[in-house]
Amino acid sequence: MKKLLKPDMKVKSIFEIPLDNLYERGFHNLIIDLDNTVTEWNGMDVCDSTAGWFQELRKRGFNACLVSNNLGERVFTIARRLGIPSINKAAKPRRRAFRQALDILDSGKYNTAVVGDQIFTDVLGGNRMGLFTILVDPINPKEFVGTRIMRIFEKLVFKEKSLEE
């Protein structure tokens, strides 16, 4: 179980993801979380630097799909602004939405990475699918109450890992 909770890479934000390195390693598709990865939790604003990062993805030959547990039109609206497809009501860490994203991206698990801010949804779900996982720090400490509770468990997981290493 511990292996399923460990990301393959950890960076501060999407802007620190080594895109050239990923591309050279064969990862040309990204499944990306929305809340606290791309936007603040429940936010509608996409900052210029984030929009620019998604433009840069396309220029470098990446395909991306937003996959969010969030409900409603918000996910689709932000995805349209970024010019990428999306899946809402993902129920991560369940595999269904990850499989859907792979179909949408016309990709396989060996050339796709998952990017998100939560261990028990993004990392666990991606690892269960055999995808390369990238954990980013949350954009903002403001979060859904359930997420705040899960952050306590995330800290315990990281604390335990640091003792083992």
pLDDT in tens, 70-109: 887 999 999 999 999 999 999 999 999 999 999 999 999 9
**Are the beta carbons of 146 and 26 closer than 8 angstroms?**
no
pTM (2 decimals)? Answer: 0.86
pLDDT of residue 164: 44
The number of folded domains in the chain is 1
| Residue-level pLDDT at 45 | 81
| DSSP annotation string for 27-54 | --EEEE--BTTTBSTT-----HHHHHHH
Per-residue pLDDT tens digits for 49-71: 999 999 999 999 999 999 999 88
pLDDT for the residue numbered 132: 98
If phi over 0 gives left and psi between -120 and 50 gives alpha, with beta otherwise, what is residue 65? beta
Kindly tell me the sign of the dihedral angle through the C-alpha atoms of 10, 122, 103, 62. Answer: negative
pLDDT band at 163; cut points 50, 70, 90: very low
Helices (H) and strands (E) in the chain, counts: 6, 6
- CATH number of the domain to which 124 belongs: 3.40.50.1000
Domain encompassing residue 27: 3-164
pLDDT number for residue 129:
96
One-letter amino acid at 90 equals A
Judge whether residue 33 has pLDDT over 80.
Answer: yes
